[in-house]
Amino acid sequence: MCPIDNSSKDQYQCSSSSSDASESYERSSTPISSIASEGELSQKELEAPDINNQDEIQLPTPFVPPSLCQPTTTELKSRARELPEGLGLPSVPKEDACKVVDPQDVGTPDGWIPRDSRLVRLTGKHPFNSEAKLKDLYAQGFITPSNLFFVRNHGPVPKVSEEMASDWTVRIHGLCTNPVSLTLADLRTKFRVVTTPVTLVCAGNRRKEQNVVQKSLGFSWGAAGVSTALFTGIWLSDLLEYVRPMKGAKHVIFEGCDQLPNGPYGTSQLLSWARDKRKGMMLAWAMNGLPLEPDHGFPLRLVVPSQIGGRSVKWLTRIELSDTESQHYLHFNDNKVLPMPVGPDRARGETGWWHDPRYIIRELNVNSAIACPDHDEILDTSNKSPEETFIMKGYAYAGGGRRITRVEVTLNEGHTWNLAEIQYPEDLYRTVAYSDSVYGTLDLTESDQCFCWSFWSFEVPIATLKKCKSIAVRSMDESLALQPRDMYWNATGMMNNWWFRICIHQLEGGKLQFEHPTSKFMKTSLTSCSLLTVCAVAGTQPGGWMQRVKDEGRDPSMPDFSVKNELSEKVVEKPTPAPISMTKPGNSRKVTLKDLKAHATAEHPWFVVHGEVYDATNYLDEHPGGPDSITLMSGEDATEDFMAIHSSDARKRLAEYHIGTLEEDLIPNKENLKEESSTASFLSPKNWKQVVLQNIKNISKDCKIYRFGLHRPDQELGLSIGQHIYVRMRRKLQRAELVEELVQRAYTPLWNLGDRGFVDVLVKIYYPNEQYPLGGRMTLGFSELRAGDTVELKGPIGQFTWLGDGKALLNGKEKDVRKIGMVCGGSGITPILQVLRGIFHDATDHETSVWVLDFNRHLDDILCRDELDRLAEEYGSRFGLQYSLTGKTIPEGWEYSTGRVNDEMLRTYLPSPSIDGIVCLCGTQQMVQALKASLTRLGWDGDSQVVVF
């Protein structure tokens, strides 16, 4: 368990209680090899390291992130200690840890963390996701300083004090015969401490190239989402042998302590891989000889070499051996390469793709990039002889411990290829073994696994380069996996590894300008310098040849550099995107208005979009919004509603249901033209009606109640218990110019039978975050509303209606119901509360019993609790109420449940399956799917006894 410390940065004042401050971060060191002469190591005298006395191994002292260590008396070292020069190993970074909080972090949850301003932010101010400029990263060499190591955070960084770190424990449990909780002291004394170089790579590395072709679900990583460090800790395989996995254990689940909207970050490994020492998995507490930085998992993280960075869980607190893979939200909803035909909107709407084990990413694929020449670098060849050469440089890596066996460079778009020279700095660690009191054992002498990047170079004559229009690089690993020519675009934008191409522009005066695929592309004013560089910017900024090609109306995924490349001041007008076809080719059928109206039914609904007729009969059960939103428009023109809320993927799919073209125009519904009766209720199922916002009541930090006035003070809403309404509004968005966006969604009002003249809508606002940078379109629309603004309502809709006194209408059929279980999460309480009011405010009903199980992350997130508690107290014999908190921080004295829904909770707090019983659900799509599966296991019939609001 990781409590989050909210105290100030002063907690990291370093003391010298355990050792003199002047000796902090110092360590005794002993090469395992003897020194032959003049500090030269004798390769013949290498021996296995002697680390029998584990008590001699220490954590780096003080055990505080170097960026946060504030010395009190003596200047302390905050840079990685170099390994002895005589070892001949790559040098460790020589720069001091950053000590300054970036102004962009001030006022965010991470406002206490010093960060290097050279890092390029990819997701705005918060959460922090960043990479170095490719040129800066490559210039550091084999080992990356923590200041420039790429960062992938899903939310706020846990704030762990020095005292908390000293007491840090990791719990190992589940299907093992020796479950245990171990402190950092236990880890370093019970197990062999090792250090090994590892390259970590984000699965989104080079995603920006995919986002130019088509926006994916992820943010725009450049080509520097890769970094290498010396990690110190223990082998995971040793720990697993210590706890002795039981037969039946197939997976090892890892969980951090970060607090995210859908629970802490967690993922899993196959047990067979995790216990294989050749896979190199570690529990690490140090990088480059110093404590981990907060952004990199202080005080303990998992390090998984040769797999995507998302498998290396930070702030590690729990390890579970299980017969099933991790059930963490981001284990399923991230780090997948979905099939190319599955677009972002379809991926969001059809959750089955995320749970298909075929699409999970584990090992890295083969990849490479060009670091030199840099983006926008200008090479002046006017004063160079044709015989002079230019050296291209870059990196390459592979997954699964496989070695890069070749790197090839083409100067003519792949017609011919040239072999580049490859350097393997990792191999230097195979020539010598070393140990000291902090690094433990650094010994790759018997390892043949390749866990790190390699560097390549290619020397090209200036005369040849001047004739080139582009250069590209590709690499191959020892399994003969080769980087492809073409991009495999996918909804997550992950694992992008097509050829890395650079466009060459021939400028006046014999100057060459190099243009990378992405980054900020700008004009450069030339000076007398022969070689000029302009800083490239990754992230959301436009630029690079891919965006330029796209703006010229060409396909950036199929580049043709034979087209003349000119850098000019000419502004290229963006082409209008080709319209999406929503009809079947060759379908010439004409549909009469009579035929259309004959199918204005719930069983076989036809509707019209842009004059074309569609039959939705076979799609009713699949529709993510439920069948009602379709049947409401049966026999009608649904153009405005459909176009307002459906994605390009949905529009493409609509063609499957196209049956013909309407012969004549639809006449507007007469109900929409006649004046409203003085006794009529407000809602209309076929027509939108305008209401005015009267006031807004704040309920919590992100929940509000919006009260809208009906047309008359005495007017009834016209809603039955258990039903919902559609809300539609027009948002005004400031983009290149002021534009209007039509958005709509179904809501359940907070409504009582006696209410007149108004309707209250409870809304949880989904503000922009890292996972959804634009936030919730509809809920942000609500947040922009002010008193006097208008929205439109339509309804009622819903498959369930509570008729009263033990009677309900379910999918059009009346059913006797005396036992109702209800499970909800967050704002899903609104339809639950509506039904509770209908039951307990009914003076004729004395028999119907209700059980409610309400899940929320934190105590403050429980909505309408006063009313729920009051109903439970008044109707205790008929009303069972149970809350469960799923967050890390549980308030003292909490008397209810904790944790996410499981079969045992449902068995304990809901009624048993019966003929007169039903269960109503309202929550996220993932929550509802899990609940339906659990209820089926417990004996409930998912079709006739489970209601999803």
- For residue range 675-709, list pLDDT tens digits in order: 556 667 888 887 888 999 999 988 877 888 999 99
Q: How far apart are CA 352 and CA 885, in angstroms?
A: 27
pLDDT at 568 > cutoff 50: no
Question: What pTM, to 2 d.p., does this model score?
Answer: 0.64
Confidence of residue 949 (pLDDT cuts 50, 70, 90): confident
Query: What phi, psi does 813 have (nearest 5°)?
Result: -115, 135
Confidence of residue 626 (pLDDT cuts 50, 70, 90): low
Confidence of residue 323 (pLDDT cuts 50, 70, 90): very high
Q: Among residues 609, 610, 613, which one has the least CA distance to residue 593?
A: 613
Structure tokens at 94: 């020589």
Residue 380 is a catalytic residue: no
Better-scored residue on pLDDT, 345 or 919: 919
How high is the pLDDT of residue 16?
34
Range 100-115 average pLDDT: 90
Residue 669 is a catalytic residue: no
Q: Name the active-site residue from 14, 202, 703, 864.
A: 202
The neighbour count for residue 732, using CB atoms within 10 Å, is 10
| C-alpha 5: how far from chain center | 25
How high is the pLDDT of residue 602?
78
DSSP for 674-718, please give it.
Answer: SPPPTT--S--SSS-EEEEEEEEEE-SSSEEEEEEE-SSTT----
Q: Name the active-site residue from 110, 258, 295, 334.
A: 334
How high is the pLDDT of residue 297?
97
Q: Name the active-site residue from 129, 147, 335, 365.
A: 335
Confidence of residue 39 (pLDDT cuts 50, 70, 90): very low
Query: What phi, psi does 73 have (nearest 5°)?
Result: -130, -45
Range 2-23 average pLDDT: 40
pLDDT in tens, 636-668: 888 877 775 666 777 888 888 998 898 876 655
pLDDT in tens, 509-565: 899 999 999 974 333 333 323 333 333 444 445 679 999 898 888 899 999 887 655
pLDDT at 593 > cutoff 90: no
Q: Among residues 468, 569, 471, which one has the least CA distance to residue 525?
A: 569
Top mean-pLDDT range of 127-136, 719-728, 769-778, 803-812: 127-136
Of 140-144, 260-264, 445-449, 610-614, the poorest mean pLDDT is in 260-264
Q: How far apart are CA 215 and CA 118, in angstroms?
A: 26
**What are the CB-based long-range contacts (under 8 Å, 24+) for 774-781?**
777/731, 777/741, 777/743, 778/727, 778/729, 778/743, 778/744, 778/745, 780/731, 781/729, 781/731, 781/743
Enumerate the β-bridge partners of residue 235.
282
**Given its phi and psi angles, is residue 538 left (phi above 0), alpha (psi -120 to 50 degrees) or beta?**
beta
Q: Percent helix, strand, coil in the chain (nearest 5)?
A: 20, 30, 50
Range 908-925 average pLDDT: 89
Residue 334 is a catalytic residue: yes
